[in-house]
Structure 1
Amino acid sequence: MADASPRTDISTDAETDEKNLRFDSEKLNAAVAASDSSDRSKSNLDQKILRRLAQNREAARKSRLRKKAYVQQLESSRLKLTQLEQELQRARQQGIFISSSGDQSHSLGGNGAMTFDLEYGRWLEEHNRQINELRMAVNSHAGDAELRIIVDGVMAHYDEIFRLKSNVAKADVFHLLSGMWKTPAERCFLWLGGFRSSELLKLLVNQLEPLTEQQLVGVSNLQQSSQQAEDALSQGMEALQQSLAETLSTGSLGSSSSTGNVANYMGQMAMAMGKLGTLEGFICQADNLRQQTLQQMHRILTTRQSARALLAIHDYFSRLRALSSLWLARPRE
């Protein structure tokens, strides 16, 4: 019994050491596993942070686009308000003129012109909305299919204004010719009730670079043909004015009220009225030239170039309207 006791202690110590060794090994394995898990968790966390940062950048970009569109919409609304104020002022002036003259036929023509002015205001408001949509699509690098739909919509909307002008030309061609439906700065560049196609193409060439050689040739040919057509219409208008002046200055009524003089007077007015009837044809031809130029330009350019061209055209006329607003609001001595 005395000999067995020390061996039992030695066996117990060995078993204890073996248990401690297994425990330390398990702790080491657990620590290694925990370290691996920590590395994986850290990697997953880094990926989540990167995704969150990317999402934040995209949200910030969209927010900037929305803010820019909102500012543009405010500017468009401000210009629209200014234009409506000008139209109201012109309507009041027309009302004063009508009431003072008592001319019922002018009253009917004035109502047609005022109706057109209101329709043009609505057209311009919708045009500004479409242009803002087009600008956002261009800035966000929308696909060609989406961009083509918007561009086609803007082009179709231009067809609508030419239809409205054709209708009012039958009722009051002088209203279109005078440009009273436009702002003062726009009237400075008015030609037969609208813009000169050749001049507009000159402005667009620098905005659309780079163009292919074939596109440059196409735009150049379109500009030359537009210029030739404009020259022909301008010469026709000059000939009409000269002929009208000669018709009205032929003969002399004097103070006599004889039947012969009255007949001559009525004959003169009938001839003059017949010549004035050709004014509607000149306006329609000029608008047809403008419409055809826009369509030909659209065919020559790519979808994205057409989008940039439409934005450039809008910005040009928008600046003219803004210039008119600044001019009317300038301080006077």
Structure 2
Amino acid sequence: MASASPRTDTSADGDIDDKTPAFHDNQGMVVSNPSERSRDQKTLRRLAQNREAARKSRLRKKAYVQQLESSRMQLTQLEQDLQRARQQGKYISSTGDQSQSLSGNGALAFDAEYARWLEDHTRRANELRGAVNAHAGDAELRIIIDGLLTHYDDIYRIKAEAAKADVFHILSGMWKTPAERCFLWLGGFRSSELLKLLMVKLEPLTEHQMIAITNLQQSAQQAEDALSQGMEALQQSLADTLAGSLAQSNSAGNVASYMGQMAMAMGKLGTLENFICQADNLRKQTFQQLHRILTTRQSARAVIAINDYFSRLRALSSLWLARPRE
């Protein structure tokens, strides 16, 4: 019993030393505290969570920027595809609805349709010239003139459909010859300028006709000036909107602002179609009023003079393009 007692005491002391935290002596060692270890673990977890949140934020921002870049490349590719389609596509004449052919082939369809209209218009003008030279009666001349005026209505309707598909093509006048484009105004000619030419060509005119045509010319000029001012205001407003979309940063806020301003610019571009339609309507109404002022034979001479004027412009373009170059 006495010999076993010291071994028992030694074993118990060993167990106590294993389960109790080690306390160091006074030789520079610091005693470990459980509460301090708990606080350190919470701090480490919080730092790890912050790092993970920052990493996910960077990944989201990177994915957003990549998505924007991908969308931009897709738009660029789409524009290139459309340009190639316009250059390489073929117009298939259809006896059905003209709006379907225009929406399907855009500028190419309009160019082909305009070429057909111009060929038919030239034929009608030559028919009128032959009737005038043959001293046909007023009734026969009036029928031909009315057909020509209706034929003018056709091109205005075709242009309106084409403007819905590609307003810039109509506005730029790329469907006309270079010499004609020198005098282009909102997708066509200025009625006031043609009236000045016709007043000389149609002499002699009565005093009443001179006054009426002069008033018509001034009225057309005022309407043209108003449309020109509206077009200038639209261009300035569009330029201001595009300038406001310029940004130095790629932040999400700037991107959202950019998209909003571009949407505003798109809405303003939509008014270009209205300007073209208003200009064509002015041309149409001016010609209708002119023919009410003139006699039947004067109207015939006016139509022939207008046709000859534009024919000379087209011939001038052909001569210019065929000129010898050193």
Name the TM-score, length of structure 1 as normaliser.
0.68
Give 1:298 shift: 0.7
2:250 counterpart (257, 261, 270): 257
User: Quick one: structure 1 residues 110 and 195, their matched pair in 2 at CA, closer, same or farther if it must change by over 3 Å?
Assistant: farther
**Aligned residue type for 1:215:** Q
Distance in 2 (CA, whole Å) between partners of 1:279 and 1:245 is 14
**Aligned residue type for 2:80:** G
2:80 counterpart (93, 98, 102): 102
Give 1:101 shift: 5.3
Alignment of 1:166-181 (within 5 A): 166-181=160-175
2:292 counterpart (285, 292, 299): 299
1:136 counterpart (130, 141, 147): 130
User: Quick one: structure 1 residues 159 and 252, their matched pair in 2 at CA, closer, same or farther if it must change by over 3 Å?
Assistant: closer
Structure 2 residue 318 is the aligned partner of structure 1 residue 318: no
User: Quick one: structure 1 residues 332 and 197, their matched pair in 2 at CA, closer, same or farther if it must change by over 3 Å?
Assistant: same
Match for residue 234 of structure 2?
240
Unaligned runs of 5+ in 1: 1-97
Could you report, residue by residue, the CA deviation over 1:172-205 in whole angstroms, capped at 9, with x for unpaired residues?
Answer: 1100111000000000000000000000000000
Distance in 2 (CA, whole Å) between partners of 1:100 and 1:325 is 34
User: Quick one: structure 1 residues 212 and 230, their matched pair in 2 at CA, closer, same or farther if it must change by over 3 Å?
Assistant: same
User: Quick one: structure 1 residues 121 and 267, their matched pair in 2 at CA, closer, same or farther if it must change by over 3 Å?
Assistant: same
Match for residue 116 of structure 1?
110
Could you report, residue by residue, the CA deviation over 1:89-115 in whole angstroms, capped at 9, with x for unpaired residues?
Answer: xxxxxxxxx999534498588931110
Could you report, residue by residue, the CA deviation over 1:144-172 in whole angstroms, capped at 9, with x for unpaired residues?
Answer: 11111111111110111111111111111
Match for residue 17 of structure 1?
none
Tell me the secondary structure at the aligned position of residue 102 of structure 1: helix
Match for residue 301 of structure 2?
308
Distance in 2 (CA, whole Å) between partners of 1:141 and 1:125 is 25
Say which is worse superposed, 228-237 or 206-215, in terms of deviation.
Answer: 206-215
2:202 counterpart (204, 208, 212): 208
Distance in 1 (CA, whole Å) between partners of 2:137 and 2:115 is 31
Distance in 2 (CA, whole Å) between partners of 1:127 and 1:142 is 20
Contact 2:107 2:166 in 1 (8 A): yes
Distance in 1 (CA, whole Å) between partners of 2:241 and 2:219 is 33
Give 1:224 shift: 0.6
Match for residue 191 of structure 1?
185
Distance in 2 (CA, whole Å) between partners of 1:239 and 1:259 is 31
Unaligned runs of 5+ in 2: 1-75, 87-102
Higher RCO, 1 or 2 (CA under 8 Å, sep at least 6)? 1
Give 1:252 shift: 3.5
Which structure's CA Rg is the greater one?
2
Q: Greater share of helix residues, 1 or 2?
A: 1
1:268 counterpart (246, 261, 270): 261
Distance in 2 (CA, whole Å) between partners of 1:142 and 1:126 is 21
RMSD: 1.9
**Aligned residue type for 1:189:** F
Give 1:304 shift: 0.3
Across the two proteins, how many residue pairs are aligned to each other?
235
Percent of residue pairs identical? 75
Alignment of 1:272-283 (within 5 A): 272-283=265-276
Could you report, residue by residue, the CA deviation over 1:284-327 in whole angstroms, capped at 9, with x for unpaired residues?
Answer: 00000001111111111000000000000000000000000000
Distance in 2 (CA, whole Å) between partners of 1:156 and 1:191 is 22
Match for residue 327 of structure 1?
320
User: Quick one: structure 1 residues 227 and 114, their matched pair in 2 at CA, closer, same or farther if it must change by over 3 Å?
Assistant: same
